[in-house]
Structure 1
Amino acid sequence: MTMGVGRATRRMQGRSSMSVLLVSLLLLAAAAGVSSRATYTGSSTAGAGASVTTTAPPKKHVDGKKQQVPALVVFGDSIVDPGNNNAISTIVKANFAPYGHDFGADHRPTGRFCNGRIPTDFIASRLGLKQLLPAYLAPNLTTHDLLTGVSFASGGTGYDPLTAQLASVISMTDQLRMFDEYKARVRAAAGDAALSEILARGVFAVCAGSDDVANTYFTMRARSSYSHASYASLMVAHATAFLDGLLAAGARRVAVISMPPIGCVPSQRTLSGGMGRECSPDHNEIAELVNSGMGTAVDTLKAKHPGARVMLMDIYGYLLDMMVRPDGYGFRESTLGCCGTGMMEVAVLCNGVTSAVCGDVEEYLFWDSYHPTEKAYRILVDYVYDNYLKELIA
């Protein structure tokens, strides 16, 4: 990690200001330069032009595990978006090289904000469902895809409704509307019994909040009138409303992924960590406040919906340990991304024209300046599965 910090410090001179300018322009363009908002209109045919490739039906035994649940259904942001943003008018996309650098035999970009697979792909595999979890807006979605689960996630969204508006992506509210359409499609394709089975025994995973803190609150300063505590409360209130809606829609096994130590991801180190690119304590303070509030919210939701299981999967401490002790997990670099300088490149700033790829991605915890590598995701999912999901599906 010392080598990485030294490399970053040398690059900081003359580049830091430009990097801050670039990310600000990127976010402003997403907020103002896209002519049509990504409001869901109630038809999945919006994905007809998307360049997403869904997986074929899986082998009978995925990862050697017995199938324990009928489906995995996912909501959230870029951490779990397998390509829904390909189908909407936004610049927050990852369907171009070098994204997909290690994805499949043909190393193709799919819209996943990663060099390869993302957490929900690994979770689907661990659950015995399939190797890849497809985007709901994929143009060639099959009945099998619907019955074994999809992702409604949209990179750039958040619990705060303003976050999705600023990035012109699919809001959490619209993801719930997509879920209503999904239920109707499952019922039409396989009947009420199949839908009831998915609602009762499927796993419903939710991952959001990082973009609220990193983009809406700090970079865009769009909630500048809020203190750290009041903004965390706003996020928790919107997250609770979303989860209440999901439970009211019939979901009975819900896994909520906690906020990560967002102040320690490479881009936030660059923007808020000073010349030494330290972790941003302000970012992490809000993340911890949200996690504390979500713990209380989950207890309240379980009391309101006694027939449901709702679990907060706390990844904050584990991921922070990966960041500060990368060598303990098989990484050399945890303060820079593999793409470009590693300090600011994400989405359109991480591209095959201006951004070279590091020599050995296996040594990096982060693929771009915001999203972990496939290797890091696999390690994180192993932790989540063993410590939380096994209990949820027991």
Structure 2
Amino acid sequence: MSALFAFGDSTIDPGNNNGLHTLFRGDHLPYGCDFPNHTPTGRFSNGKISTDYIVDMLGIKSLLPAYLDHGINDEDLLTGVSFGAGGSGLDSNTAAFAQVMNMDTQLEKFEQRLERIRGGVGDAKANNIVKNALFVISSGTNDMLYNAYLFPARMMQFGSVSSYHDFLLQNLDAFIQKLYEVGARMIVVVGLPPIGCLPIEVTINSVMPNPDWLHRFEQTLKGCCRTGMLEMGPVCNMHDPTCADLSKYLFWDAVHLTEAGYKFLAESGIRNLLAYFTGSN
């Protein structure tokens, strides 16, 4: 695989929201406390996220940078970047609420960068990069969390959860079609997590999920930051205590995974999906 391009929400955002006037930012401690040099990069975790592990496991590069990172160069564009934005979703209203890049804008930015790649290496090489690149779409959780569970007014415009599901899937289908039209052939869509098992949902609804739903972690019902029950973004900050042993926690804050959790997802994805793209299944 030549490159990885990621689109979606905070699960694959390495810092695109940094500097924006939005609450959906992870560019402050304790976020990034286990990242090299203990730097809060904007990743919504204590360290690396799954796309960082994937590009490293595939031998592409060590980290997948943010598209809006001022430090990226043409070489970074050739091997991939993430356009993901924390707070975004398949419903453009979700991104508008968060004041971040929606999915259409993310795709527009990719197409603009693709033209830059074409100008640098020529059409033939650019087409080959896209054809052999892995495209990851991780989106939809915010749509359901906010619009169907926490603040259902938007979902009620559609009459039912099922109708809202259909709307989101139609938007996802249109997004995949546009990627296909520009030459993408290896596309992975990350499924939604069990939203009712997110610590914030467990806290709000007092619903106790099955404690055995993820494998190697001792604590799966709350996050590591402060109480682990509601904190995320600006209310998980350097003044809040964090747990002593992060390796035992699935969640970093009340929504996002720890570095260990993201590594587990990346390893699972590589193990279960890579064969389908390489033809060795």
Tell me what 2:92 maps to: 161
1:340 lines up with 2:271 in the alignment: no
The one-character-per-residue Cα deviations of 1:209-264 (angstroms, maximum 9, x if unpaired) are 00001112222223223312111111111111111111112211111111111110
Distance change (3 Å), C-alpha of 1:336 and 1:254? same
Tell me what 1:361 maps to: 246
Q: TM-score, normalised by structure 2?
A: 0.94
Q: TM-score, normalised by structure 1?
A: 0.68
More helix by share: 1
What SS does the corresponding residue of 1:96 show, helix, strand or coil? coil
Tell me what 1:175 maps to: 106
Matches within 5 A, 1:188-207: 188-207=119-138
Give the distance between the partners of 1:87 and 1:183, measured in 2 at CA: 24
Distance change (3 Å), C-alpha of 1:197 and 1:258? same
Tell me what 1:25 maps to: none
1:376 lines up with 2:264 in the alignment: no
1:130 lines up with 2:130 in the alignment: no
Using CA pairs below 8 Å that are at least 6 residues apart, which structure has the higher relative contact order?
Answer: 2
1:103 lines up with 2:103 in the alignment: no
Letter matched to residue 347 of structure 1: G
1:84 lines up with 2:16 in the alignment: yes
The one-character-per-residue Cα deviations of 1:175-229 (angstroms, maximum 9, x if unpaired) are 1100111101111222222211111111111110000011122222232233121
Structure of higher CA gyration radius: 1
What SS does the corresponding residue of 2:5 show, helix, strand or coil? strand
Tell me what 1:56 maps to: none
Tell me what 1:238 maps to: 171
Give the distance between the partners of 2:208 and 2:235, measured in 1 at CA: 22
Gaps in structure 1 of 5+ consecutive residues: 1-68, 280-319
Q: How far did residue 87 of structure 1 move?
A: 4.0
The one-character-per-residue Cα deviations of 1:87-128 (angstroms, maximum 9, x if unpaired) are 433121000000001001x11100000000001001101111
Matched-pair contact (CA < 8 Å) for 1:101–1:109: yes
Tell me what 2:237 maps to: 351
Give the distance between the partners of 2:3 and 2:219, measured in 1 at CA: 35
Q: How far did residue 389 of structure 1 move?
A: 2.4
The one-character-per-residue Cα deviations of 1:259-297 (angstroms, maximum 9, x if unpaired) are 11111010111122x2xx424xxxxxxxxxxxxxxxxxx
Q: How far did residue 325 of structure 1 move?
A: 4.6
Matches within 5 A, 1:1-394: 69-104=1-36, 106-221=37-152, 222-225=154-157, 226-272=159-205, 274=206, 277-279=207-209, 324-326=212-214, 328-329=215-216, 331-353=217-239, 355-394=240-279
Give the distance between the partners of 1:210 and 1:94, measured in 2 at CA: 18
Letter matched to residue 239 of structure 1: L
Matched-pair contact (CA < 8 Å) for 2:148–2:161: no
Give the distance between the partners of 2:198 and 2:258, measured in 1 at CA: 12
Matched-pair contact (CA < 8 Å) for 1:162–1:216: no
The one-character-per-residue Cα deviations of 1:5-46 (angstroms, maximum 9, x if unpaired) are xxxxxxxxxxxxxxxxxxxxxxxxxxxxxxxxxxxxxxxxxx
Give the distance between the partners of 2:175 and 2:247, measured in 1 at CA: 36
Count of aligned pairs between the two proteins: 277
Matched-pair contact (CA < 8 Å) for 1:72–1:124: yes
Cα root mean square deviation, aligned = 1.4
Give the distance between the partners of 1:185 and 1:175, measured in 2 at CA: 15
Give the distance between the partners of 2:80 and 2:193, measured in 1 at CA: 25
Show structure 1 runs of 4+ deviating over 3 A. Answer: none
Letter matched to residue 223 of structure 2: G
Letter matched to residue 381 of structure 1: A
Q: How far did residue 388 of structure 1 move?
A: 0.9
What SS does the corresponding residue of 2:38 show, helix, strand or coil? coil
Give the distance between the partners of 1:334 and 1:257, measured in 2 at CA: 20
Query: Percent of aligned pairs with the same residue?
Result: 39
